[in-house]
């Protein structure tokens, strides 16, 4: 064993002595990649330029909104003050000279035909005087009764004017024209008994809000109603925009102007600004859709993207031509690595370049040859000793000497093998033994066990000597049950002299053993020794007299009693033991519907005759 390990080490530590000089270092090829990075940098500059252009456009739109609001607010504020002044002068003259009321009113309606009604009202909207624009009523077919009815319904709306405030209200829904209702106290005191009220057409205000371009402007009252809008239908319908975020922000704001980006109910984003007039809670609002103001920015960005795509395509062609010489050998190495990972060590690989990749390819081929030689030696060695031991020897993890371990030891034997072999030719015996051993050994490997040795027709295996499966006793019993199942399949079609039916006995014991390399300086083998091994062999030999195929010791039973159905065979005197040993017959796995219920069913299943009862003293 020691000489074998030394041979393996010499093979694995073999190094390639031939060195290759790199004529075309890979760093020169990386320059081309750097060129590609520069191209990406240019793309970044393009996108950053678009980003800042977008930001600049946004700032300009906001500034434009503020300017429009300032101009419109001055215009509206001037018009409202003018209306209020005209009404105050006319009403004061009528109240002082009631007999000349018609002349005062005619003078107002003639000078400004947009006035429809002026009046003074005491507490409870009791009229002190009312003057109508008769020409307007006649031209547009309105009745005074309609206006009287309106006066009766707006008591609550103008009630605030009695406290000294100015009330501006959209009366358009009651008429067929955009009309504004303006109410304010006669005097400047906070509490007054007389208010002045006027109805005036909104034509001149509407003209001011007919803006061109992408900006939309409108006048909003204190209650959120639209007083002026480019679309007269919105004013006539008496629409309220309280659900518009910019209107809500204006109503809550403590300052007279502001800007806000918001999303409306149609999921369209706007840039909006507001300007309060300071009269009756009225404010001017301007808004513009983001998509419209950034339309040209998006177009420029699209054109830049198209140019970038063209540049990238050209750069890709150049990079592809030069990178192919770099990537092809790397891909060949990746493919070769996968073949080695799959166990295919013979590679049809040659170096096509003389750079670092070529050097790596040559080294890779040398490595694969070494691995191929190692695998052949390990495979050949593994046929004569356990493959796990061969792996440990190859890695240098197999130390000379022994160590104490707790493991499960298994023995199996073919019943009446001597009688079977006498009826067969030696070649036939070897053939059926190889078939039988292959089935049984696969059961050991599937459960994590290690075949220790073959003793003629007997098999010795261990669980936990080289590596533990967690519950080595359970794994050993599971392997025995699998052997029983495989043997039933193996025996199908057998029963002749040339193909006799095979029956086996299995014995398992769990305990401490000495595991290690045992032998002489010339020949050594890895095995386990100790009383646990001897007892496992003795337990296996009890199967013949007990009429069973799998027997386990008490130590093993304690580890697996919750996993397998067993039957106690009592205390049996075992050779080499002073005290009788408790042994148990294994019926099968718990929860398995095919598990025999008792020994009679087990014997019938595996074909074991019931043993004769022996009298004991």
| Token pair 């504020």 in the structure block, residue | 77
Helix (H) or strand (E) holding 462: strand 458-463
Q: Which of 298-307, 426-435, 441-450, 534-543 has the lowest mean pLDDT?
A: 298-307
Pairing of strands 167-170, 179-185: antiparallel
Cα 199 to Cα 180: distance, rounded to the nearest angstrom:
6
**Residue 11 pLDDT level (bands cut at 50, 70, 90):** very low
Query: What contacts 24+ positions apart, CB below 8 Å, involve 571-577?
Result: 572/542, 572/546, 574/535, 574/538, 574/539, 574/542, 575/538, 576/534, 576/535, 576/538, 577/535, 577/538
The predicted-structure confidence for 30-50, as pLDDT tens digits, reads as follows 556 766 776 777 778 777 877
145 has pLDDT over 70: yes
**Residue 468 pLDDT level (bands cut at 50, 70, 90):** confident
Angle, alpha carbons 56-58-64 (nearest 5°): 105
The predicted-structure confidence for 548-579, as pLDDT tens digits, reads as follows 999 999 999 999 999 999 999 988 888 777 78
Cα 486 to Cα 491: distance, rounded to the nearest angstrom:
9
The predicted-structure confidence for 509-563, as pLDDT tens digits, reads as follows 999 998 887 777 667 778 888 899 999 999 999 998 888 999 999 999 999 999 9
Beta bridge pairs of residue 565: 588
Which range is most confident: 5-19, 277-291, 382-396? Answer: 277-291
Task: Return the closest-CA partner of residue 225 out of 241, 237, 246.
Answer: 241
pLDDT at position 407? 93
Cα 390 to Cα 4: distance, rounded to the nearest angstrom:
10
pLDDT at position 388? 66
Q: What is the largest CA-CA distance in the chain?
A: 153
Q: Which CATH number fits domain 400-606: 3.10.129.10, 3.30.70.1230, 1.10.730.10, 2.60.120.650?
A: 3.30.70.1230
The predicted-structure confidence for 155-189, as pLDDT tens digits, reads as follows 888 888 888 888 988 888 888 888 888 998 987 65
Cα 122 to Cα 15: distance, rounded to the nearest angstrom:
115
Which range is most confident: 153-162, 317-326, 605-614? Answer: 153-162
327 has pLDDT over 70: no
Mean pLDDT value of segment 106-125? 87
pLDDT at position 614? 43
Q: Do 373 and 11 touch, CB atoms closer than 8 A?
A: yes
Cα 542 to Cα 535: distance, rounded to the nearest angstrom:
11
* 343 phi-psi bin (left φ>0, alpha ψ -120 to 50, beta other): left
CA dihedral 517, 462, 378, 1 (to 10 degrees): 10
pLDDT at position 480? 94
pLDDT at position 552? 94
Q: Do 541 and 431 touch, CB atoms closer than 8 A?
A: no
pLDDT at position 536? 92
Domain(s) of CATH 3.30.70.1230: residues in the chain: 400-606
Domain(s) of CATH 3.30.450.20: residues in the chain: 53-293
Question: What is the per-residue DSSP string for 168-226?
Answer: EEE-GGGSSS-EEEEEEESSSSSS-S-EEEEEEE-HHHHHHT---SS-EEEEE-TTSBE
Cα 343 to Cα 94: distance, rounded to the nearest angstrom:
113
If DSSP codes are grouped into helix, strand and coil, which group holds residue 247? helix
Q: Which of 46-60, 127-141, 361-375 has the lowest mean pLDDT?
A: 361-375
Name, in order, each residue with C-beta under 8 angstroms of 260's C-beta and a sequence gap of 6 or more: 245, 246, 249, 272, 273, 274
190 has pLDDT over 70: no
Task: Return the closest-CA partner of residue 184 out of 166, 158, 198, 160.
Answer: 166
Angle, alpha carbons 4-10-12 (nearest 5°): 100
The domain made up of 53-293 has a fold known as: Beta-Lactamase (3.30.450)
């Amino acid at each position: 064993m020691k000489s074998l390990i030394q041979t393996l080490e010499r093979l694995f530590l073999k190094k390639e002595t031939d060195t290759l000089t790199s004529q075309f270092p890979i760093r020169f090829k990386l320059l081309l990649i750097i060129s590609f990075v520069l191209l990406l940098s240019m793309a970044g500059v393009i996108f950053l330029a678009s980003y800042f252009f977008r930001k600049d456009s946004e700032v300009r739109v906001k500034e434009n909104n503020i300017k429009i609001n300032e101009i419109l607010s001055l215009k509206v504020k001037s018009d409202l003050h003018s209306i209020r002044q005209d009404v105050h002068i006319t009403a004061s003259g009528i109240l002082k000279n009631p007999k000349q009321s018609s002349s005062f009113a005619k003078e107002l309606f003639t000078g400004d035909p947009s006035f429809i009604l002026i009046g003074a009202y005491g507490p409870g909207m009791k009229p002190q005087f009312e003057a109508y624009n008769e020409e307007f009523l006649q031209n547009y077919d309105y009745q005074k009764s309609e206006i009287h009815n309106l006066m009766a319904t707006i008591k609550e709306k103008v009630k605030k004017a009695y406290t000294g405030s100015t009330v501006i209200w959209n009366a358009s829904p009651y008429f067929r024209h955009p009309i504004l209702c303006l109410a304010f106290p006669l005097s400047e005191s906070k509490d007054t008994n007389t208010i002045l009220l006027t109805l005036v057409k909104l034509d001149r205000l509407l003209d001011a809000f007919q803006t061109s371009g992408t900006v939309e402007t409108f006048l909003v009252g204190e209650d959120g109603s639209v007083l002026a809008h480019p679309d007269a239908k919105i004013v006539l319908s008496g629409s309220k925009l309280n659900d518009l975020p910019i209107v809500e922000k204006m109503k809550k704001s403590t300052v007279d102007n502001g800007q806000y980006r918001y999303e409306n109910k149609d999921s369209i984003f706007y840039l909006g600004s507001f300007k309060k007039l300071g009269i009756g809670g009225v404010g001017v609002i301007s808004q513009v859709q983001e998509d419209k103001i950034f339309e040209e920015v998006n177009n420029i960005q699209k054109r830049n993207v198209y140019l970038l795509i063209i540049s990238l395509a050209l750069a890709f062609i150049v990079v592809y031509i030069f990178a192919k010489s770099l990537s092809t050998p790397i891909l060949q190495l990746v493919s070769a690595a996968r073949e080695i990972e799959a166990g295919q060590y013979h590679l049809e690989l040659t170096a096509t370049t003389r750079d670092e990749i070529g050097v790596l390819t040559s080294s890779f081929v040398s490595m694969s040859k070494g691995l191929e030689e190692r695998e052949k030696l390990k495979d050949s060695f593994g046929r004569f000793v356990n493959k796990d031991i061969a792996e440990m020897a190859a890695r240098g993890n197999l130390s000379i000497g022994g160590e104490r371990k707790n493991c499960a030891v298994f023995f199996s034997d073919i019943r009446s093998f001597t009688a079977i072999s006498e009826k067969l030719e030696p070649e036939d015996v070897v053939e059926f033994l190889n078939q039988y051993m292959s089935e049984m050994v696969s059961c050991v490997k599937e459960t994590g066990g290690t075949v220790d040795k073959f003793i003629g027709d007997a098999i010795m295996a261990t669980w936990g000597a080289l590596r533990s499966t967690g519950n080595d006793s359970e794994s050993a019993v599971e392997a025995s049950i699998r052997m029983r199942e495989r043997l039933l399949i193996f025996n199908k079609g057998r029963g002749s002299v040339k193909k006799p039916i095979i029956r086996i006995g299995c014995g398992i014991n769990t305990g401490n053993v000495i595991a290690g390399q045992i032998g002489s300086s010339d020949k050594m083998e890895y095995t386990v020794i100790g009383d646990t091994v001897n007892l496992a062999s003795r337990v296996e030999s009890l199967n013949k007299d007990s009429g069973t195929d799998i027997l386990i010791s008490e130590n093993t039973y304690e580890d697996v009693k919750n996993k397998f159905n067993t039957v106690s065979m009592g205390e049996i005197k075992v050779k080499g033991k002073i005290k009788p040993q408790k042994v148990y017959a294994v019926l099968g796995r718990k929860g398995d519907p095919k598990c025999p219920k008792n020994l009679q069913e087990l014997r019938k299943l595996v074909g074991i005759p019931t043993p004769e009862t022996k009298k004991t003293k």
